Chains A and B, each alone.
Chain A
Amino acid sequence: MATTIQSQPILSALPPASGRAGFGGTLASEFTKIRSVRSTYWTLLVLLVVSVGIGAAITAGTAASWPHMSPSDRATFDPTQASVAGLFYLGQLVIVVFGAMTLTAEYSTGMIRTSLTAMPRRIVVYAAKATIFAVVALVVTFVAAFISFFLGQLLLASTHDTATLSQPNVLRAVVGSALYVTLCGLFAFAIGAILRHTAGTITTVIGLLFVIPILVHLLPQSWYQDVTRWLPDAAGRALSVTVGPPPAHLFSAWNQFAVFAVYTAVLLVVGAVLFLKRDA
């Protein structure tokens, strides 16, 4: 009954070590982590279904009511924006949860202590985590954006008012929606690194991306015009429009995206500094 220890016979010898443990190994490790829990697949599946589904619902609905729409409504209808709206509004929510949990789940399970014992050079762990998340998010949001777009145009075929990628701003809107949603995820990742708490992080990010823009609308008109271009979600509003004049009071699409990118970069740096300095 007593299991005696025969440590050597079972264990094979390790190859001699050279160099030192670094980014490559930790990147592989983080990829193993992300692909080895079911929640990843559920989250990404929900993101795809919600994004494509809502986009399809909006475009199919528009196609159905097209005969009854006024000429002015038809003129301002943006077939690209409508097709990727699901990714924009709901996909964004899903990716925020996914991004937040990339780091906060390690704190809630305690896994962070095991991770940092295996790789004590913390900046390596932080960078690898952010990189793997960004790559996975980019791939999934690009897939979601293009499926949404092509399916949406298919469903709008009867209106003869469909977009193609070669039209002005259309590719920018499709690619931009994927980039914007990925950036929302990184934004949540950074806030997760700062707060280290899942619920608090999701609440904060939703506040910053969804609630603040609504509150800003309540400001006096002149204030609103000054403030709106500095909101993080303005990037999404600027990138997704392909029909008519560019949205009022905003920077050009990519400059507006740069504003959000700078916010995210600053938060990622703050998150990294705290990740390095604090007790795990």
Chain B
Amino acid sequence: MIEVRGLVKQYGAKIAVNDLSFDVEPGHVTGFLGPNGAGKTTTMRLILGLDYPNAGTAIIHGKQYAGLAYPMREVGALIDAKAVHGGRSAYNHLLCLAQTNNLPKRRVGEVLELVGLTDVARKRTRGFSLGMAQRLGIAGTLLGDPAVLMFDEPVNGLDPEGILWIRNLMKGLAAEGRTVFVSSHLMSEMENTADHLIVIGRGSLLADCTMEEFIARSSGQTVRVRTPQPDLLAKAVSEAIPDATTAGAATTAKPTATTESDGSLTVHGLTAAQVGDLAFDHGVRLHELTVVRASLEAAFMELTADSVEYRAGEGPAEQPFPVSEGAI
């Protein structure tokens, strides 16, 4: 359990983290999302006490990180996999970490085996690929068998097999009841891993909700309809009453139907069932009725469009996104 309250961090004139508050709960994987430069790494550094906040607190198991009796037994954190001395072997790197927390030597060999680095344990880490460095970093987080795990962009540099491995690892750790807090700037990485999302942009909280809520809220959830009588259905849709409970909070706008170039209709603001009922009520024959889920990537892009720190093009869009009631 990580509790972040009113965290503020300023570097000179630039506000990196702006009054951030959220909880990270045990038992599931919490994705920490935001564009590059949104303040994810800074937030994690503040939680770990590597940087000092200008205001606010970050509490883990009721204490600040530096106050934990055996930090590595409670929190396993990987901020930067390349933050190692390249001249030291993988084994000795982990050994010097284990010793700080009086962890038994045998754990070093065990975590190396777990991440698949046993064969290169005695090799100096300078020659490691980024993927191997990530595995070494993850091995370090597991040394103390902690209940809280924090990973900053852990899949960077991993090959597809490595990505799958770390996804399964994170899910497995969460299934054991641990708190897993993992950052990424790519929604697609979180899509299959995270149960809960904390989205930030420019240091501020944009969303704190479950993955389902996030999907439901995304205004891109639509229904594709093929019918020989499109005009009749379009008229019926435009007169229909939207149902907020099923369509999600962000789609309470008036339902609309737009004609696509291939002749199909795209209905916004109604569920597939509602469209089917409407068609039946109005005697419209349907040839296809499909729920089209906007990709999470699209929803994420839309949410963070206004808060992207470094963008290529022009024109931020107007898009307030509701923060869930759970956030303080």
Contacts and interface: CB of A to CB of B under 8 A. Distances in A.
Interface of A: 1-5, 7-8, 10-15, 17, 19-21, 24-26, 28-30, 32-33, 36-39, 105-106, 109-122, 277, 279-280
Nearest to B66: A120
Nearest to B165: A3
Nearest to A15: B104
A120 B101 contact: no
B210 interface: no
B89 interface: yes
Given A5-B168, A12-B110, A21 B101 contact: yes
A114 B96 CA distance: 10
Given A39-B87, A109-B85, A120-B66, 9 more contacts: A2-B168, A4-B168, A7-B173, A11-B107, A26-B99, A36-B89, A36-B92, A117-B50, A118-B100
Contacts of A118: 71-72, 97, 100-101, 140
* Chain A interface mostly: helix
A259 to B, nearest CB: 35
Interface of B: 45, 48-52, 65-66, 68-73, 77, 79-80, 82-89, 92-93, 95-97, 99-104, 106-107, 110-111, 113-114, 116, 140, 142, 144-145, 161, 164-165, 168-169, 171-173, 176
A32 B95 contact: yes
Contacts of A122: 66
Contacts of A105: 85
A114 B140 contact: yes
A11 B114 contact: yes
A131 to B, nearest CB: 14
A38 B87 contact: yes
A111 to B, nearest CB: 5
A5 B145 contact: no
A159 B134 CA distance: 64
B96 A32 contact: yes
The 3 A-B residue pairs with the shortest CB-CB distance in the complex, in nearest-first order = A110-B83, A36-B92, A20-B69
Nearest to A40: B87
B50 A37 contact: no
A280 B83 contact: no
Contacts of A25: 99-102
A5 B161 contact: no
A32 B87 CA distance: 13
B83 A120 contact: no
B70 A17 contact: yes
B80 A113 contact: yes
A119 B100 contact: yes
B114 A10 contact: yes
B240 to A, nearest CB: 46
Nearest to B103: A14
A26 B104 contact: no
Nearest to B51: A279
Nearest to B52: A279
Contacts of B66: 120-122
A10 to B, nearest CB: 5
A147 B142 CA distance: 47
A7 B101 contact: no
A81 B17 CA distance: 60
A20 B86 CA distance: 30
A29 B107 contact: no
Contacts of A279: 45, 50-52
B50, B168, B172, B173 — most chain A CB neighbours (10 Å): B50
B169 A7 contact: yes
22 contacts: A5-B171, A15-B104, A20-B69, A20-B70, A21-B70, A24-B102, A25-B100, A25-B101, A28-B99, A29-B99, A36-B88, A36-B93, A38-B87, A109-B86, A110-B84, A111-B84, A113-B80, A113-B83, A117-B48, A120-B68, A279-B52, A280-B51
